Amino acid sequence: MQRLAMDLRMLSRELSLYLEHQVRVGFFGSGVGLSLILGFSVAYACYYLSSIAKKPQLVTGGESFSRFLQNHCPVVTETYYPTVWCWESRGQTLLRPFITSKPSVQYRNELIKTADGGQISLDWFDNCNSKCYMDATTRPTVLLLPGLTGTSKESYILHMIHLSEELGYRCVVFNNRGVAGENLLTPRTYCCANTEDLETVIHHVHRLYPSAPFLAAGVSMGGMLLLNYLGKIGPKTPLKAAATFSVGWNTFACSESLEKPLNWLLFNYYLTTCLQSSVNKHRHMFVKQIDMDHVMKAKSIREFDKRFTSVMFGYQTIDDYYTDASPNRRLKSVGIPVLCLNSVDDVFSPSHAIPIETARQNPNVALVLTSYGGHIGFLEGIWPRQSTYMDRVFKQFVQAMVEHGHELSSM
């Protein structure tokens, strides 16, 4: 609120200077133009403050988790002020990768082997200069899972690492097979229904630092994968807590929304070409089991999944795969504290598919639902380069779980 007020004061000051030096004669000099500008500005400000800027809806399955968040993660109860000139879902979604900064991060890469002979690329940010947690064996570790075709280079991942660095934590990014430049050793990629690679990574990291608090955060498809893992394994995980952002809760609903003409044009077709590019680089690994020419002719994510992903992971039909991939089915079985941030205007995850009633039945789950924010957008402020609402939720929640998580077990 204070930052928004400061931004608005700055904008008003700049507008006043502009009018003072530039608006001197003619139509504007008469005062009519100035009155129109001021009238429009006041009307827009009233509309924005009454209809756009709102507190998120906090849905929890237990009073203790709700109180914990209000005490230690207050951002989830504060009014979210979307960027005043770009609050619509598609605008936020499209603009975020271009307008937000990309903090510089130096990674240490590690390739680990899998049971089937494959390999997974992990990018570590060790934070050896941490002043809060100088002992590496107990330094909190945050596992980060990027989106559908994302890697450790995504701006939202870099921001999470920068915020974790401020807290003194260590981060490790789980790059899905074949997307981060490493060779594909077996004819297998990834999907959000199959959690075997994630289980391998979690156990590997925990073996390295068994005494360190261990958390995870997943974005978009990475969040779907994380929730499916947590729903399958319940409380028997080394993770202390988890957070997800812009998760697609029901894969059927997500696909249907993204196939609407405008959404297909803006998002679906582009993401389909990204998926095709990621598998075409390893084309020689798949030709014996998959018709790659048919895959490369797909015009939507659903067609790609039908021709490639569902075949790759042995599903009889695309419906079988989409049913298994939807995390709403497993939310009731999550056994550790999980915070899930979604915007109800996200075209990737329609609001009617968000499992509000299921969340209310699990004391470990908290949904934070904003009215605006788009898909991995959550831009705020006049010029949102350095931080987003999503970033602030991430930072406050992981810090709350590391420093005060013990309070939940005693509530």
Annotated active-site residue 346? The verdict is yes
Annotated active-site residue 197? The verdict is no
The Cα–Cα gap between 327 and 191 comes to 13
Express each pLDDT in 152-185 by its tens digit. 999 999 999 999 999 999 999 999 999 999 999 9
With a cut of 70, say whether residue 321 has pLDDT above it.
Answer: yes
Q: Count CB-CB contacts under 10 A for residue 380.
A: 25
Annotated active-site residue 30? The verdict is no
Q: Count CB-CB contacts under 10 A for residue 360.
A: 14
Q: At CA 113, angle to CA 108 and CA 118, rounded to 5?
A: 115
Residue found by looking up tokens 């060790």 in the block: 126
**What pLDDT does 41 receive?**
74
Of 123, 305, 346, 391, the catalytic one is 346
Express each pLDDT in 31-71 by its tens digit. 666 777 777 677 777 777 888 999 999 999 989 999 999 99
Q: In angstroms, what CA-CA distances link 160 with 46, 168, 242, 336?
A: 33, 12, 14, 21
Burial 49-68 (b: 16+ CB within 10 A, else e): eeebbeebebbbbbeebbeb
Question: DSSP class of residue 326?
Answer: -
| CB-facing half-sphere around the CA of 354: CA atoms within 13 A | 26
With a cut of 60, say whether residue 7 has pLDDT above it.
Answer: no
With a cut of 80, say whether residue 309 has pLDDT above it.
Answer: yes
Question: DSSP class of residue 182?
Answer: -
Of the pLDDT bands very low, low, confident and very high (cuts 50, 70, 90), residue 3 is low
Q: Which helix (H) or strand (E) holds 110?
A: strand 108-113
Q: What's the predicted TM-score (pTM) here?
A: 0.90
Q: Which position has the higher pLDDT, 30 or 37?
A: 37
**What pLDDT does 203 receive?**
98
Of 159, 257, 375, 387, the catalytic one is 375
For 52-250+328-406, the fitting CATH number among 3.40.50.1820, 3.40.50.12500, 3.20.20.140, 3.90.700.10 is 3.40.50.1820
> What percent of the chain shows pLDDT beyond 70?
91
Q: Where in the chain is the domain with CATH 3.40.50.1820?
A: 52-250+328-406
Of 89, 155, 164, 220, the catalytic one is 220
